[in-house]
Structure 1
Amino acid sequence: MALRIKSHWKDEDRERSLPEISSALAYIAWRIAMDKAINLHCERFLYRDDAQRLAVIQEYLVFLIQIADRLAHGDLDDESRRLLVTEFAKNLFAHVQDNSQDLLGPGDYGGPFIGLLNARSGDYADYQFADDGPSYAFLRHLGYEIQTLMGDKEENRWVIDQVMDKDGWDAYKKFARAYRDLFE
């Protein structure tokens, strides 16, 4: 089943603030990341447990934060870009915390997510992003991180290819379209 994303404002004439746009982006990013985690299961890759599935979702979220930052680089001044990305990350922090608590019980889940974001941001900084999207190395890094999370079980051996060739690219396209729609 195809993921349907609403990325147009109900009252299109009203000006939206960057925090409002960031909140909508976070909701959309969460849905895309969750859809991609579900798709891996549909493609017969196996999760050990819900914690592993949430870790995969978080890798996609970190990837989409990098995409938002790259898209904003060409559209916004430095201060607006910083505000957008910071608010976006804060909103995703809340999504990660709430959903992880629902599945795994009480605990600090948002803090480690921010730690992951900070660590991965340095990694992704080395990869190119052009007008047509993320480079092969950019997508490969996402695939590598998810492959590492999924382990080396026989069933999960090719997860990197699935992420690099299909799911990562699809996540980028859906997110970039929603990003542009929200700024129209």
Structure 2
Amino acid sequence: MKAIAVVGNPKAGSRTRDAAERLAAALGLDCEVIEITSLGAALLSWGDPDITAAVQQVQSADIVIAASPTYKGTYTGLLKLFLDQFPTATGLAGQVALPLMLGAGPAHALAPELTLKPVLVELGATCPAQGFYQLDSTYRTDDSLARWAAQWGPIVLDAARTGADR
């Protein structure tokens, strides 16, 4: 099974990337990473070959981890610019997507579920698990990843296997 993490943090090598890679590892997946910030100003135009290649790379995955820090209660504009490159309803069709967000406090714990998951579904992805929110100050040391993976991991992997069999 192929997994890819799409990281919408403006800073390369961020905690957001680390959290996405940790999530993939907790699910037993090898994971490629696209740091959207590396795509630069090309995100502001249509038809750029590097953006097209990145979109195709994401579309070739069975599982897509859409990862973002929380800004103003939602995902980053950087991630939005990249997701805008996908066709509505079909851009992520047949893929399992996992919304993952890091934030400074528990006030935005529903942000992955309320802001990021609907966009992924609008693009055609299946989101069989609860959106995953972690505190950026404790995500490496708390048990939130283990608890999430125990509850949702089998469901996510089963959904991805089912989608891959089509």
User: What's the TM-score, normalizing by structure 2?
Assistant: 0.34
The structure having more radius of gyration, on CA atoms, is 1
Larger helix share, 1 or 2: 1
User: What's the TM-score, normalizing by structure 1?
Assistant: 0.32
Larger strand share, 1 or 2: 2
